[in-house]
Amino acid sequence: MTEDQINYVGMSKTNIAYMVLKISFWTSNLKITSRVNAIKAYLTDIENNAEVQEMDTTGATDDQNFLWFVAADQAFHIITGLKAYYIDEKDTVSFKEINYSFWELMKCKKLTALDRMRLIHKKVSLIDINDLEDYQIVATDVTKLNSDTLAFEAAQPIKRIMVADKKVATAKIAEDIAGIQTEYVSLDLLVEAMKRAQPAFVKGYKDTRIVYDLGHGHDTAELSVGPEMCATAFENKFEAGYSFLIRNHADVGILVGLGLIANGKPETTPVAVPAKSEIVLVVPKEAIGMLTRFLSIQNPSKLYVATVTIIMSKDVSKSDAEKVVITGIPK
């Protein structure tokens, strides 16, 4: 599959896994049930044909995808609390070890995901559970992560139906993706109609419908920045010419730029990213020898936490979002 196809199929798997997790919200709606089942069938067919192409689809059956999603969701819940705990403890080493986004737990090989989940469980198990109460982590969370990880590890993919002709398989994948896109035209509207009755469910649906470009040459981070605080990412991972697609999921605006120290404020001219919006921040090619080695997110709000997703690219992002070139880079 192409990178665009892989990204779209990855989104579809994650979204359908979310729908299975939240089945109680829609199981009585025959229209939604029909659309979800149709997308499941398309995804299974894509898996079969992707095997023929000898591509790593990093996927499996509906059951395995569901168990993967559940384990990743539990691991990311613990990661969020641990990151705040490590910040308070000034433990930057441990912070970096567990600083995975939800998508870094999902869009990778199964063994890589399992290794990351086991690391999260190991790290949280080393801390007195009473010390984590203020960070929304309780003993049952730790136990559940272990059981969810074991269940995901035990899940096996179904035997795939092989198709001899790679050209046929390639064409069929394109047809199946077009079919999924058609189903989503209706499914999106059906779920949107539930926003008054089930706003949290609809928000989760929309969050899992975002297609993230995490292919070759990309890296991602997801930061939760407390009120009047700063958070940084990508230490020494970028150079002149790189860009960052910054998605601000918060209800408050944020400031972004390049910083000199971990969790320090932007040292370049701050760029404002309004609430619920995104921009592309571009490091100019002439910025060779710059001293700033962190991407910095500053939350000026005195009340609200800002959740931000950042996708780093080795060149200028292809996103349609507004592109802003960084200025005021200290040397």
Helices (H), the chain: 3-21, 30-52, 62-89, 92-97, 102-106, 110-125, 139-154, 166-192, 199-208
Domain ranges, ordered by start, for the chain? 3-59+157-208, 63-154, 219-325
Nearest to 257, CA basis, from 240, 232, 236, 278: 232
In this prediction, residue 53 carries a pLDDT of 60
In this prediction, residue 177 carries a pLDDT of 94
Q: Give me the half-sphere count of Cα atoms (radius 13 Å) on the Cβ side of residue 274.
A: 3
Q: What is the mean pLDDT of each run of 10 residues along the chain (331 residues)?
A: 78 88 93 95 84 49 77 93 93 91 83 93 95 93 95 68 61 91 94 94 88 61 86 86 89 92 90 92 84 89 87 79 89 64
Question: Domain 219-325 - what CATH class?
Answer: mainly beta
In this prediction, residue 165 carries a pLDDT of 62
DSSP string, 215-238: STTEEEEEEEE-TTEEEEE-TT--
